[in-house]
Structure 1
Amino acid sequence: MSVRIEGLTVGYGRSAVLQGVDLTIDDGEIVVVAGPSGCGKSTLLRAVAGLLPITSGRVLVDGEPVRGPSRERALVFQDDGLLPWRTALRNVELPLALRGVSKVERRALARSWLDRVGLAAFEKYLPRELSGGMRQRVQLARTLAQAPKLVLMDEPFGALDAQTRAAMQGLVVEVLRETGTTTIFVTHDVDEAVLLGDRAVVLGAGEVDVEREAILAAVMG
């Protein structure tokens, strides 16, 4: 799934969070959007997801304008968003159940993805019985079980310790490349940008920071 952002502005006048952002992402590409807190990274993701009104410009996904949320676009947050009363397996199953997927099929898919993220032995555990990294793996399984064509990740590892974060970064890169899923990954961490992305885009004060982006591109080599 390709993404084309043309002259994207969100907000008005001096209160605009994004101003005239242009960005093209190819099918299957992992693009990291880096920049300091408050520069508009999360706003960009939500605009692509169809969750925010656009003041001017447009977002095209596979050539079609984004006019609202879609099952083909999945948003992953720092907060895992798991329902505390549902087991890991049933959390992964939930969006499939809401789409009317049969119990047999959704259970098989959920188990397959829990196994893929290394949690096959924890399917009956409740979120409170899992570590932060394990809960994020459940969220990843839940997201990918829906077979989205575009994954939007909003600093999903920001609350994890360094060791768990490194493990999750490796897992995400492996799985996303294996599935060929187009991905926009937001971070303020330069090391994470270098590790995860095919390419990095740097935002500063709501605009693409060309100078910093060139420096980061040179580091990524």
Structure 2
Amino acid sequence: MTGLALHLEDVTVTYGGKAVLTGLDLDVAPGEILAVTGASGCGKSTLLRVLAGLLPVAAGTVRADGEPVRGTSPDRALMFQDDALLPWRTARANVALPLAIRGVPRAERAVRADAWLARVGLAGLERRLPRDLSGGQRQRVQLARTLAGAPRTVLMDEPFGALDAQTRHGMQRLLAEVWDTGTTVVLVTHDVDEALLLGDRVAVLGEGGLTELVEVARPRTVVDPSLRARVLAALGAPTLETT
């Protein structure tokens, strides 16, 4: 499977008569993990909804593999901070949901769902309801459900933001380990270190548009202090001076 190529050209999005994004130009390569960060209210979540086809643009062009984005598609999946699991469905049934929507036979759905649950470290918990899982386990189910549907692009809106530090670190590591599907990822995060650990590039949004685009080399086992400084400077964060 090849991830989608995403293209935004001179995109403007308004909300309540106010421009949230203005003249945004951005390309995301197939299979790339693009981390997006910026101050609250700068349009990060708006960008994801535009790419998902949930929000129309006031001006400009949005394309996926060269085709205009005019609505939602199974090829573009959105993953939220809230796990959004169906409380009456088991972990297996939740993961199998996108497979059912795609018309996969029931027996195959169960096999594929169990395989993804095992891959995210939840083997043996297939029959658990969401209420019987921890917050981190529920997010693992959501990740498995998202990937089981084989989308070509995953749009992630602060997916680990509600987790404690230890669980969040584990989910970051898990995402880095399982992301060999070729899927394109756009990940919104307020955490600069998370952006630099997971992203092939980090896009910093501010004042309605793109203020910085930072390339991050692989492997990314530790955060490069110079890149952190660049991102923080683009965010307008104060820096410490040494004498």
TM-score by length of 1: 0.94
Give secondary structure in 2 for the equivalent of 1:188: coil
Note the aligned Cα RMSD (angstroms).
Answer: 1.9
Could you say which residue in structure 2 is the equivalent of 1:188? Answer: 190
* Corresponding residue number in structure 1 for 2:227: 219
**Other-structure match for 2:171:** 168
Deviation at 1:98, TM superposition (A): 2.2
Query: Are residues 158 and 12 of structure 1, via their aligned partners in 2, closer, same or farther at CA, if it must alter by over 3 Å?
Result: closer
2:148 pairs, out of 114, 129, 145, with 145
- Structure 1 residue 4: Cα displacement: 0.8
Paired residue type of 1:122:
L
**Structure with higher helix content:** 1
1:76 to 72, 79, 88: 79
CA deviations 1:170-207 (Å, max 9, x no partner) are 1111212x112110000111111111100000001221
2-structure distance, mates of 1:215, 1:30: 11
1:157 alignment counterpart: 160
Distance 2:34 2:24 in 1: 15
| Superposed CA offset, 1:64-99 (max 9, x none) | 110100000000000000011111001111121122
The answer to whether the 8 A contact 1:12-1:55 is kept is: no
Query: In the aligned structure 2, how far is the partner of 1:109 from the partner of 1:13?
Result: 43
- Judge conservation of contact 2:201–2:214 (CA < 8 Å) in 1: no
* Residues 38, 205 of structure 1: 8 Å contact kept: no
Q: Percent identity?
A: 62
Q: Which secondary structure state, in structure 2, belongs to the residue aligned with residue 148 of structure 1? A: coil
How many residue pairs get aligned? The number is 218
Which of the residues 42, 48, 51 maps onto 2:51? 48
Contact 2:172 2:198 in 1 (8 A): yes
Q: Residue 45 of structure 1 aligns to a residue in which SS? A: helix
How far does the alpha carbon of each residue in 1:94-143 deviate from its partner, in whole angstroms, 9 at most, with x for none? 12112221101111110110010010111111101101110000000001
AA paired with 1:116? R
Work out the CA distance in 2 between the residues paired with 1:206 and 1:117.
Answer: 36
Q: Equivalent of 1:8, from 3, 11, 23?
A: 11
> Could you tell me whether the CA contact under 8 Å between 1:28 and 1:182 is conserved in 2?
yes
Gaps of 5+ in 2: 217-223, 231-243
Q: Segments of 4+ in structure 1 off by > 3 A?
A: 213-218
What runs of 5+ residues in structure 1 fail to find an aligned partner?
none
With 8-17 and 33-42 compared, the bigger mean Cα shift is at 8-17
Tell me the CA shift for residue 7 of structure 1: 0.7
Q: Which structure is richer in relative contact order (CA contacts within 8 A, separation 6 or more)?
A: 1
Q: Secondary structure at the match of 1:34?
A: strand
Quick one: structure 1 residues 152 and 215, their matched pair in 2 at CA, closer, same or farther if it must change by over 3 Å? closer
Aligned to 1:97: 100
Residue by residue over 1:25-57, the C-alpha shift from the partner in whole angstroms, topping out at 9 and shown as x without a partner, is: 111110001111111000000000000011000
Alignment match of 2:207 (pick from 179, 186, 205): 205
